[in-house]
């Protein structure tokens, strides 16, 4: 299994531009999580999906952020318009069943907004 695949690995964009981060979960996993990690705030859960349905988006910072999961093998996190304070590492993770096995994380996307 290739694990959780995120793209791109690095993204540098100008303030005001739209940014789209992509994630392919492990085949067969039915839960998908988007996290943001910064030095100041640590690891923050933005949103999670179960069976492609958003269950909890209370961590999405504001309306500029949106996430979709059109099918079991693909999810996107979009920021429009981007701001310098959005600079962070964004992780996608997936899990199966009730999640008792824990999550499998992708390698992350390092986003820099200038």
Partner 1 sequence: AQSVTQLDSQVPVFEEAPVELRCNYSSSVSVYLFWYVQYPNQGLQLLLKYLSGSTLVKGINGFEAEFNKSQTSFHLRKPSVHISDTAEYFCAVRPNAGNNRKLIWGLGTSLAVNP
Binding interface with partner 1 (CB under 8 A): 4, 31, 42-43, 45, 48, 50, 55-56, 91, 93, 95, 98-108
Residues near 109 by Cβ (< 8 Å), separated by ≥ 6? 6, 7, 8, 9, 10, 11, 21, 89, 90, 91
Which is closer to partner 1, CB of 70 or CB of 102?
A: 102
Which of 13/107 has CB closer to partner 1?
107
The distance of closest approach from Cβ of residue 65 to partner 1 in the complex, given in angstroms and rounded to an integer, is 18
* Closer residue to partner 1 (CB): 16 or 49: 49
* DSSP string covering 17-65: --EEEEEEPPTT--EEEEEEEETTTEEEEEEEEETTEEEE-TT--STTE
Work out how close the CB of 72 gets to partner 1 at its nearest, in angstroms, rounded to a whole number: 16
Q: How far is the CB of 44 from partner 1 (least distance, A)?
A: 9
Bridge partners, residue 108, by sequence: none
């Amino acid at each position: 299994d290739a694990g959780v695949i995120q793209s791109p690995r690095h993204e540098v964009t100008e303030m005001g531009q739209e940014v789209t981060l992509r994630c392919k979960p492990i085949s067969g996993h039915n839960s998908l999580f988007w996290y943001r990690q910064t030095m100041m705030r640590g690891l923050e859960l933005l949103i999670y999906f179960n069976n492609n349905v958003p269950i909890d988006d209370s961590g999405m910072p504001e309306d500029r952020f949106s996430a979709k999961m059109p099918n079991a093998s693909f999810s996107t996190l979009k920021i429009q318009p981007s701001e310098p304070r959005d600079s962070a590492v964004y992780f996608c993770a997936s899990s199966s069943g009730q999640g008792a096995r824990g999550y499998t994380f992708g390698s992350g996307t390092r986003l820099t907004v200038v």
